[in-house]
Amino acid sequence: MKQEGIIEAQQEDRGTTHQRKFEKVNEIIGRLGRSRSALVPILQEVQEEYRYLPEEILTYIATALGLSPASVYGVATFYAQFSLEAKGKYVIKICDGTACHVRGSNPVLEAIKKRVNLQGNKSTTDDLRYTVETVSCLGACGLAPVVMINDKIYGQMTPEAINIIIDELEKEDAADE
Amino acid sequence: MEQKNTVLIDGQVVEINGEKNILELTRKIGIDIPTFCYHSELSLYGACRMCVVEVEGRGIMASCSTPPTPGMKILTNSPRVQRVRRTVLELLLANHDRECTTCDRNGSCKLQDLSNRFGVKKIRFGERDVKLPLDHSSRSLVRDPNKCILCGDCVRMCSEVQGIGVLDFAGRGSQTVVAPAFNKNLAEVECVNCGQCAAVCPTGAIVVKDETDRAWAALNDPTKTVVVQVAPAVRVALGEEFGLPAGEIVTGKLVAALKRLGFDKVFDTSITADLTVIEETNEFIKRLQSGERLPQFTSCCPGWVKFAEHNGADFLNNLSSCRSPQQMFGSLVKKHWAKDLGKKPDEIFVVSIMPCTAKKYEAALSNMTTEGVADVDLVLTTQELARMIREAGLVFDQLDVESFDTPFGFTTGAGVIFGATGGVAEAVLRAAHEFVTGQPIEQVNFEAVRGFADRKEATVEIDGQEIKVAVVHGLGNAKKLLEEIREGKADYHIIEVMACPGGCIGGAGQPISPDRETKKQRAKGIYNADKLSQLRKAQDNPMVAKFYERWLKEPNSAEAHEALHTTYSNRGRITGEEIQLIAGEQPKVDIAVCVGTCCYLDGSYDTLQKLMKLTETEQVQDRINLHATFCLEQCEKGPVIKVDDEIINAVTPETVEKVFKEKILKKLAAAGE
C-alpha cells in the first residue's frame, strides 16, 4: 500500500519537479556567474537541488561556463562531496570507525539494509528514497555507534532503535504527502 | 669584477639570458635534463618531478618551474639528484603496465628510455592489481589507461594547443585517471582524431591504432589489386625512422620500399592535391564573384572538418565542399580508373600512407564510398609503414630509388606543399590569379603564408580586388580566429586551417618527434621538393588536365561534384541524455529545445522558459513531453526547437508564442479530436 503511494506521488511530481529544478539550475548559474571560479559553488548548489549531479546537467553547466565537459567531470569527480549517482531522499551514513565498530555498528548496518530492502553492493534503493553509506568517522565517538541521516545525528544506535527512527521518517513522509 | 647575472651549474658559470627556468638554461649548455611533462609548447605543469636538480641552500627543486636567480649554485647530477630521479622512475613504473614487448611504443617510449638511461634495474614496489579497460572505440587512436603516468601532456595539448579539452583528469588520489567526460569512449565525445595527444604521450597510454595486419592481408590476397597513395608529408619524415635526418626527401626509396612490399601500383596523393587546388580555386572564385559564403575555409584536413562540425556549425557553409586529396584519390580510383582496368570497386584495395591519424576516421565516413565500397580501404600512418618496412626486413637506406606509377604519379610543387602549414593557401594563390585574369603569375612563392607563426596573413591583388588570406594551424588558433570572425573583428576571403601544429608534417602519424626543430626541417624538405619541381602550379599538371578531359569534364562540373565534393553535418559535442522537463501523463506532442553551445548563446534558455510558462497558462502540461537537448544539429539558426519531427529554427522569446500557438496548440487540438 505504502509503496504504491510513494511511486504515485513521485510520478505526479515528475513533470513539475524537473521543470522547477532546471529553472533553479539557471537561477544558480545566473546568480553565481559564468566564470570558471564559480564552478564549485554552482556544483554544490545544483547538487542540493538534485541530490546528485546528473550527467546532462553537468554538460549543461559546462556549456554555460564555456568549459569542456571533461573538465567539469574532472572537478565533480575530484571532490568527495559530489556524487554522480542519484542519491536517496534520505542519506543514511553509518559510522564504521573504530569506536563505532567495536560498539556494534555492523548489526545496525545490517538492520538498516534489511529495513530499506537493499541487497548486495547497492547503496541506493530503487525508489530513490534511501541511500546507505558507511563512513570512517563522524567525530562523535562518545555516542558510538553513530548514524547520521541527512543532517541529523543519532547516537547509541541499536538495530531496534534504527527501525523506530525509520518508522518516524516514513510517518512524516506520509503526512507530507 | 663580479658577474652579476650568472648562475653556477655543475661548477660552470652560465649567464642568464631571459631563460624562464633552470631547465632551459641547462639545456642551453648541453645538459639534457630528463622530463615527461615539460613541453616548450605547453604550459608548465611540474608534475612528473623528473627534472629535479639540487640548488644550494634550497634543496631538490623541479628545474622546469624554478626560474634561475643570479648566484644560484645548481647541481644537475649530484648523488641526491640521481637518487630522487631513480625513485621517481621506480614509482612511475610501479603504476605502469610494463608489458613493453607488446607495446606499440616499444622503442619510442620515454619512460622505457629514461629507465634505461638512469639504470633502474629493480622496482621495489608492487604492481597495480586492477586492470582498467582499453578504449578501442576511436577509428584512429587506442587509449590504454594502464600505461598512463598522469603527466597530463595529452590533457594540456588537447585544451591548450587544440582548444578542445576532450581529456582531463578525473577522480582523485590513487583513483586518478585521464579520461574523456563521464568516462565515455573517445568516439562518444568531441574528439577530432588529430592524435596530438598520442604525439606528446611519453608512453603507450594513447597510441595510433595499428592496422598493418589489414595491409598484409590485402597484399596477400590474390583477388585484390592493391594500390597505394602517399601523402606529401610522408616523404620528408619517413627517413627519420631509419636514422636519416629530418626533412630529407626520401621519395624514391619510399616508392621502392612500397613496391618491394608488394603494392601493385604506387601513386602520389600530391596529384589529387593538384586537383583539389583546381576545384577549390574555382569554387573560391565563384564565391568571390557572388560575394557569398565568404570567407571560404579549406577542407583538406579531416581534423579541422570534424572540429568545425562540432564547434563551428555556423561556418559549415563556408567550408569548401572539396573532399580531401586522399578521398579525391580514392574516389577517382574506384569510380573511374577501376573501369579502365575492367575491375569492380571492390576488386581494388586502396591504401593510403598518411602523416595523419584523422585520415583513418575520414576514410571510414559513410559518404566516402563508391557502389557501397569505401573509396579508401585502409589508412596507414608513416609510423605503421616504417613498421612494415622493418618487418619485411628491407634495409631502407640501401634501397634503389624508383618512381611513382602513372596515371596518378605526376605532380607539381603545388600539390607537394600541401604537407606544410600555408601550403594549400599558397597553391590556391598560385592558381587564383591565373584563373581570374588568364595571365600566369611570375612570382609563385608566397613567403608570407609560410612558417610557424600562429596566424599568417597576406593580401594579394587579383584583377584589382584585394584578397585577404589567413592561415592557421593548431585548432586552438582556428578557434580564436572563428571567434574573431563571429565578433566581426577579423575579415578574410580565404582561410586555410590545419589541425596539427606545423600542418601535416606535424601530424600524429609521423615518427615521434618531441621538438619543433624536427618539424621545421620537415617543412624545409617540403619547400625544397617544391623548388625541385619542374612545374610549380597545379593548373600546369598535364595529368590533371587529362582527368578532366576523360572523366570530369571541367572544374566544378556535375561529374566533378559527384566524384570530388562532399557535404558536412553538424555534430553535437557529446553523446548523452536529454534533460527531461515536462513529462505529460498522456503526451500527444513531443517538444525538444536545444540548449547546446550555439543555441544557448543565441538565448535558447529564454525561449525555453517562455515555452514552459506558455504550457502552464494554457494548461497543456499533461499532454506534452518537453525536454532540453544538446544538439538538434541546426546550429546556424538558433535557438532551435523540435516539435515531434519538425525542426523549427530561430525561435526567439518573441516568436515562441506564435510557434506555440501555430504548431503545438494546433497539434494538440488535432490530437484531442
CB distance A67–B165 less than 8 Å? yes
- Whole-Å CA distances, B318 to B298, B362, B567, B600: 9, 19, 11, 22
Q: What is the distance in angstroms between the Cα of A66 and the nearest Cα belonging to chain B? A: 8
| Adjacent-strand bridge partners of B47 | none
What DSSP string runs through B425-483?
HHHHHHHHHHHHHSPPPS----GGG-SS-SEEEEEEEETTEEEEEEEEESHHHHHHHHH
CB distance B172–A78 less than 8 Å? yes
- Chain A residues inside the 8 Å CB shell of B583: 14-15, 18
Q: Does A29 touch chain B if contact means CB atoms closer than 8 Å?
A: no
Predicted confidence (pLDDT) per residue in B606-634, tens digit: 888 888 888 888 888 888 888 888 777 66
CB distance B582–A64 less than 8 Å? no
| Stronger pLDDT, A13 or B290, i.e. the higher one | B290
Say if residue A13's pLDDT is above 70. no
What is the predicted pLDDT for the residue at B558?
95
- Chain B residues inside the 8 Å CB shell of A58: 181-182
Q: What is the distance in angstroms between the Cα of A153 and the nearest Cα belonging to chain B? A: 28
Predicted confidence (pLDDT) per residue in B484-521, tens digit: 999 999 999 999 999 999 999 999 999 998 788 999 99
The angle, 0 to 180 degrees and rounded to 10, between the axes of the packed helices A105-116 and A159-176 is: 30
CB distance A71–B628 less than 8 Å? no
What value does the mean pLDDT take over residues A93-107? 94
Confidence of residue A2 (pLDDT cuts 50, 70, 90): very low
Q: Does A20 touch chain B if contact means CB atoms closer than 8 Å?
A: no
Domain ranges across chain A: 2-78, 90-176
Q: Are B638 and B650 in contact (CB under 8 A)?
A: yes
- Whole-Å CA distances, B17 to B14, B28, B43, B364: 9, 10, 20, 51
Mean pLDDT of chain B: 92
- H or E segment and range at residue A107: helix A105-116
CB distance B573–A73 less than 8 Å? no
Q: Does A60 touch chain B if contact means CB atoms closer than 8 Å?
A: yes
- Whole-Å CA distances, A154 to A145, A151, A165, B178, B508: 9, 10, 9, 40, 59
Confidence of residue B587 (pLDDT cuts 50, 70, 90): confident
Give the closest of B183, B583, B605 to A26, CB-based. B605
What is the predicted pLDDT for the residue at A11?
46
Say if residue B456's pLDDT is above 60. yes
- Chain B residues inside the 8 Å CB shell of A69: 181-182, 189, 573-574
Q: Does A18 touch chain B if contact means CB atoms closer than 8 Å?
A: yes
CB distance B582–A58 less than 8 Å? no
Interface probe, candidates A22, A29, A81, chain B, greatest B C-beta count within 10 A: A22
Give the closest of B165, B171, B583 to A70, CB-based. B165
Q: What is the distance in angstroms between the Cα of B610 and the nearest Cα belonging to chain A? A: 11
CB distance A77–B580 less than 8 Å? no
Interface probe, candidates A56, A75, A79, A83, chain B, greatest B C-beta count within 10 A: A56
Say if residue B221's pLDDT is above 80. yes
CB distance B164–A26 less than 8 Å? no
| B contact residues 86-125, partner A, Cβ 8 Å cutoff | none
CB distance A59–B581 less than 8 Å? no
- Chain A residues inside the 8 Å CB shell of B159: 68, 71
CB distance A73–B168 less than 8 Å? yes
Predicted confidence (pLDDT) per residue in B328-339, tens digit: 999 999 999 999
Tell me which of 1.10.3120, 2.60.40, 1.10.155, 1.10.10 is the CATH number of domain A2-78. 1.10.10
Peptide bond into B245 cis (omega under 30): no
How many contacts does A have with B, using Cβ atoms within 8 A?
Answer: 99
Predicted confidence (pLDDT) per residue in B410-439, tens digit: 999 999 999 999 999 999 999 999 999 998
Distance CA B20, CA B69 (A): 10
Q: How many CA atoms lie within 13 A of A42 on its CB side?
A: 26
Say if residue A176's pLDDT is above 90. no
Q: Does A8 touch chain B if contact means CB atoms closer than 8 Å?
A: no
Domain spanning A90-176: CATH 3.40.30.10: yes
The chain A residue lying nearest B156, using CA atoms, is A71
Q: Does A16 touch chain B if contact means CB atoms closer than 8 Å?
A: yes
Say if residue B189's pLDDT is above 50. yes
Confidence of residue B3 (pLDDT cuts 50, 70, 90): low
Predicted confidence (pLDDT) per residue in B636-647, tens digit: 677 888 888 788
Q: Does B580 touch chain A if contact means CB atoms closer than 8 Å?
A: yes
Q: What is the distance in angstroms between the Cα of B573 and the nearest Cα belonging to chain A? A: 9
Q: Are B324 and B276 in contact (CB under 8 A)?
A: yes
Predicted confidence (pLDDT) per residue in B251-275, tens digit: 999 999 999 999 999 999 999 999 9
Interface probe, candidates B182, B591, B613, B621, chain A, greatest A C-beta count within 10 A: B182
Q: What is the distance in angstroms between the Cα of B629 and the nearest Cα belonging to chain A? A: 9
Distance CA B263, CA B259 (A): 5
| Stronger pLDDT, B584 or B89, i.e. the higher one | B89
What DSSP string runs through B36-83?
SS--TTS-----S-TTEEEETTTEEEEGGG----TT-EEESS-HHHHH
CB distance A15–B166 less than 8 Å? no
What is the predicted pLDDT for the residue at B388?
97
Q: Residue A111 carries which side chain, given as an amino acid letter?
A: A
CB distance A15–B582 less than 8 Å? yes
The closest of B284, B232, B275, B299 to B429, measured between CA atoms, is B284
What value does the mean pLDDT take over residues A73-100? 92
CB distance A18–B579 less than 8 Å? yes
Enumerate domains of chain B plus CATH numbers. 6-77 (3.10.20.740), 127-209 (3.30.70.20), 213-564 (3.40.50.1780), 579-672 (3.40.30.10)
Q: What is the distance in angstroms between the Cα of B105 and the nearest Cα belonging to chain A? A: 26
- Whole-Å CA distances, B99 to B104, B106, B144, B152: 10, 9, 12, 21
- Chain A residues inside the 8 Å CB shell of B166: 68, 70
**Could you tell me how many residues make up chain B?**
673
Q: Does A156 touch chain B if contact means CB atoms closer than 8 Å?
A: no
What DSSP string runs through B632-653?
-S-GGG-S-EEETTEEE----T
Q: Does A111 touch chain B if contact means CB atoms closer than 8 Å?
A: no
Q: Residue B537 carries which side chain, given as an amino acid letter?
A: K
Beta-sheet pairing, A152-154 with B465-473: unpaired
Three cell numbers written together for B632: 538538434
What value does the mean pLDDT take over residues B580-592? 84
What value does the mean pLDDT take over residues B518-529? 96
What is the predicted pLDDT for the residue at B551?
96
Q: Own/partner pairs for A26-32, CB < 8 Å, 24+ apart?
A: A26/B605, A26/B609, A29/A61, A29/A64, A29/A65
Q: Are B178 and B154 in contact (CB under 8 A)?
A: yes
Say if residue A9's pLDDT is above 70. no
Q: Does B178 touch chain A if contact means CB atoms closer than 8 Å?
A: no
The closest of B174, B178, B156, B173 to B165, measured between CA atoms, is B156
CB distance A56–B579 less than 8 Å? yes
- Chain B residues inside the 8 Å CB shell of A55: 182, 576-577
Q: Are B473 and B307 in contact (CB under 8 A)?
A: no
What value does the mean pLDDT take over residues A1-23? 57
Three cell numbers written together for B392: 619485411
Interface probe, candidates A19, A24, A25, A27, chain B, greatest B C-beta count within 10 A: A19
CB distance B171–A77 less than 8 Å? yes
